[in-house]
Chains A and B, each alone.
Chain A
Amino acid sequence: MSTLPRTPQSAETPATGTARVKRGMAEQLKGGVIMDVVDAEQAKIAEDAGAVAVMALERVPADIRKDGGVARMSDPNMIEEIIEAVSIPVMAKSRIGHFVEAQVLQSLGVDYIDESEVLTPADEVNHSDKFAFTTPFVCGATNLGEALRRIAEGAAMIRSKGEAGTGNVVEAVRHLRQIKNEIARLRGYDNNELYAAAKDLRAPYELVKEVAELGKLPVVLFSAGGVATPADAALMRQLGAEGVFVGSGIFKSGDPAKRAAAIVKATTFYDDPKIIADASRNLGEAMVGINCDTLPEAERYANRGW
């Protein structure tokens, strides 16, 4: 594709893959919506609706749930078709701990790798060493300790896990509130207490101290898992998410193009109920939701990763 050359055209040797470049990339996505897409056509619909990036995957989480079996990295052909089809950034998922899938995704030139609990974990002890890559990683978290462990492994962006493929925002709310509450609590600690806090959080002291000083994660925090409506997206933003991933919620609904544009609007004007109301009109059918309290433990993706 002519607009996106794969090799740098600069004559000088620049520093690539630095923390600043990786984290800075996520900063550019803030205030935006990242949409799951399974083919080039959906990717174009997402781009036209104003998505800031797309997540290329073979099946949206709702279908992964339905189909069962082992969920893996997508076919490289399909990822490349999506890269060719749009000019916005393209993300793709690797299994937790499957660093070879991540190597493959990097070689394809994806802009971000999601080491995702939505796919079947490949390693029940270790996540991938994300410092080993030029391509930045986003990882899911259910609480602050988990977020900081991922950042310690090199994640350049964090998202709530939520419960993907349910169309039910309750778990995303739980995770985001948990992370925000734990950060707020750290703010009130004095230096003596931060060492014990790091032990309790099972996270490196330096990161815990940094969060206590900043009052936020040192990387961008998005929400993911269960957003299905414009109001869901705005809710996550008002709760402190800097942007929103929408998975099954768009392309499992009645009118994907319209719903996608509506969720983008509500994400930008998340604090303006009139605009959210207008965005919510006549969207057709939302995806059918799943009640998370009836979901068996084994089918809870948020429990994957540690």
Chain B
Amino acid sequence: MTDTPVIGVLALQGDVREHLIALASADALARPVRRPEELAEVDGLVIPGGESTTMSKLAVLFGMMEPLRERVAAGLPVYGTCAGMILLADKILDPRAGQETVGGIDMIVRRNAFGRQNESFEAAVDVDGVPGGPVEGVFIRAPWVESVGARAEVLAVHGGHIVAVRQGNVMATSFHPELTGDHRVHAFFTDMVRAVG
């Protein structure tokens, strides 16, 4: 693989633009992905923040769920933020009827665990493997991870709750680095994609 991997951002709904900008500044070739044929062409994928129920419905509706599962199972590096974390969880604690996930990380996620919008907050978060001190964590109606399986590695904890996890080539954060202008987490993920290549 070249030093400039192609990283897609799942563009069914959510803050796609911010991820594209963050990935570009981490020297990846970033492009939106809405169709199976677009997914087939990327070296890595970001699942953005948004509404997890909406995103999962649209993924099923437009035939993306199975291709996503297949590529994740085949080792595609994927990074999910907030709603993206929920989609990468093997299990949701309290899913809406029919809410499906892509899976990829052996963890149980609680949706909106930190509360509604009035409880949304910013806080500094230390993320294992991301150099240069804590990152600014923006938590918006954010989920947390209730528990992880043996294969999953906890990367960050806030207020006693797991907020960043990695399992193999798949990582997820409860918070939104794409909203901060600090692109270290995206650089960390882009390096992961390079390493796989």
Contact = CB atoms under 8 A, between A and B. Distances in A.
A291 interface: no
A15 to B, nearest CB: 5
B159 A268 contact: no
Interface string A3-30: 1111111111011111011001101111
Interface residues of A, number: 46
A211 interface: no
A30 B50 contact: yes
A51 B82 contact: no
Contact of B160 (A11, A24, A109, A268): A11
Interface in A261-305: 264-265, 268-269
A31 B140 contact: no
A136 B118 CA distance: 8
Specify which of A4, A27, A87 lies most central, judged by the most chain B CB atoms within 10 Å of its CB. A27
Contacts of A110: 117
A61 interface: no
A28 B50 contact: yes
Given A8-B119, A50-B54, A109-B116, A31 B16 contact: yes
Contacts of A15: 121-123
B158 interface: yes
Given A47-B53, A265-B61, A25 B34 contact: no
B159 A10 contact: yes
Interface residues on B, range: 35 or more
Interface string B45-87: 0000111011001100110000000000000000000110000
Contacts of A109: 116, 118
A89 interface: yes
B17 interface: yes
Given A109-B116, A110-B117, 4 more contacts: A29-B51, A30-B17, A109-B118, A265-B61
Q: Is the interface of A mostly helix, strand, loop or mixed?
A: loop
Given A2-B94, A87-B96, A268-B12, A50 B58 contact: yes
A74 interface: no
Contacts of A152: none
Given A9-B113, A15-B121, A32-B50, A25 B57 contact: no
B13 A30 contact: yes
Contacts of A112: 117
Contact of B122 (A9, A14, A28): A14
Contacts of B50: 28-32, 52
A87 B15 CA distance: 19
Contacts of A58: none
A30 B16 contact: yes
A158 B149 CA distance: 43
A89 B141 contact: yes
Interface of B: 11-18, 34, 49-51, 53-54, 57-58, 61-62, 82-83, 94, 96, 110-123, 138-141, 158-161, 176, 179-180
A220 to B, nearest CB: 9
Contacts of B57: 50
Contact of B139 (A14, A30, A136): A14
Contact of B161 (A10, A17, A89, A136): A10
A7 B51 CA distance: 21
A16 B122 CA distance: 7
A7 B113 CA distance: 10
B112 A3 contact: yes
A27 B18 contact: yes
A25 B159 contact: no
30 contacts: A2-B94, A3-B94, A4-B116, A8-B159, A9-B114, A9-B115, A11-B159, A14-B121, A14-B122, A14-B123, A14-B139, A15-B123, A18-B122, A20-B179, A21-B140, A24-B15, A28-B15, A28-B82, A29-B51, A30-B14, A30-B16, A30-B50, A32-B54, A47-B96, A50-B61, A88-B53, A89-B116, A106-B118, A111-B118, A268-B12
B14 A31 contact: yes
A1 B180 CA distance: 31
A21 B161 CA distance: 20
B110 A24 contact: no
Contacts of B15: 24, 27-28, 30
A10 B34 contact: no
A111 B54 contact: no
